[in-house]
Structure 1
Amino acid sequence: MGNLLGLPEWVSVTAFAAFALAIWMGFGFWGIRRAHAEVAARRPNPTEAEFLTMMADDCSPQAAQFLWGQATFYVSPGLTPHPDDDLIKDLRIDDDDIAMDWPRAWAEQRGFAESDQPEWPEDWPVTARNFGRWLDQGPRSGTSQSD
């Protein structure tokens, strides 16, 4: 391919790979934006105060505030999280971020070992509401079951 363009082979292969990667990433970005627009069209887009109020019966204010901060990082500015959103299917948040980064950040914020957080209940969908409930099942601030 490089010979046709008068370039060294490695340059043409690298350019082709970079172009293909840019197309793939653009398509992924477009898909996420489209999914967020669909979610915003089918349900209310709560403010932070409304989200915290909707979560009040399900988890602590600290867990609700933590989830607001984590989720809005991924979906702002055109969408805000809703307690019934599936974090993976609706908001398109990477499951590794939810499974590894969020529990670690919560444990660090609350002052306990991440390993003290219980296992995720297999029959629970990964909604913001359920995630808040799950966070509150862990140790209280500053305590660790492994100490």
Structure 2
Amino acid sequence: MGEALGIPEWLAVLLWVLGLLIVVVAYGFYSVRKAHHRLAESRPNLSREQFLAMMEPDCSTEAAEFLWDHVLFYVRSPLSPHPDDEFSKDLRIDDDDWSMDWPREFADQQGFHESNLPDWPAGWPPTLRNFGRWLSMGPV
């Protein structure tokens, strides 16, 4: 392959692999963006104040603000967080981010160790509302 292009074979293979990688990553971004756009069209997109008000009966203000700020890193306008969104299914947020990193960050912000959070309640779907509820079960 490289001979036909007038470049070393290793360089041709490297360029082919890099090109394939670019296509795969671009498709991943495109599919997530498209899923977010469909979700934004299928339900109300809340302002920060509306989101916090909807979360207020279920969790602390600190947990709701934490979730709003962290989810906004993953979604772009016109989509905004909604309490009933599921992390992986709706928002396409990687399980490791919300299940491992976010509890540690929240616990650090609130001044306790993440091990003081209870186990995730059986049967709770991983929605923003339930995650806020669970974070609020911490020792704050």
Q: Give the TM-score category using the shorter length.
A: over 0.9
Aligned position for 1:120? 120
1:35 aligns with 2:35: yes
Q: Which residue pairs with 1:19 in the alignment? A: 19
CA displacement at 1:56 relative to structure 2: 0.7
CA RMSD of aligned residues (A): 1.0
Distance 1:127 1:115 in 2: 21
SS of the aligned residue for 2:49 comes to: helix
Which residue number corresponds to residue 68 of structure 1?
Answer: 68
Which residue matches 1:3? 3
Shift of 1:6: 1.5
Structure-1 separation of matches of 2:114 and 2:100: 9
1:122, 1:20 → 2: CA distance? 41
Unmatched tracts of structure 1, length 5 or more: 141-147
SS of aligned partner of 1:91: coil
Moved more, 70-79 or 48-57: 70-79
In structure 2, the partner of 1:45 is 45
Corresponding pairs, count: 140
Residues in 1 aligned to 2:139 and 2:16: alpha-carbon distance in whole angstroms: 51
**Partner Cα separation in structure 2 for residue 29 and residue 120 of structure 1:** 30
- How does the TM-score come out when normalised to structure 2? 0.96
In structure 2, the partner of 1:81 is: 81
Q: Which range moves more in the overlay, 76-85 or 49-58?
A: 76-85
**TM-score (ref. length: structure 1):** 0.91
Give the C-alpha shift of residue 8 in structure 1: 1.0
* Cα distance in 2 between the residues matched to 1:78 and 1:13: 40
1:94 match: 94
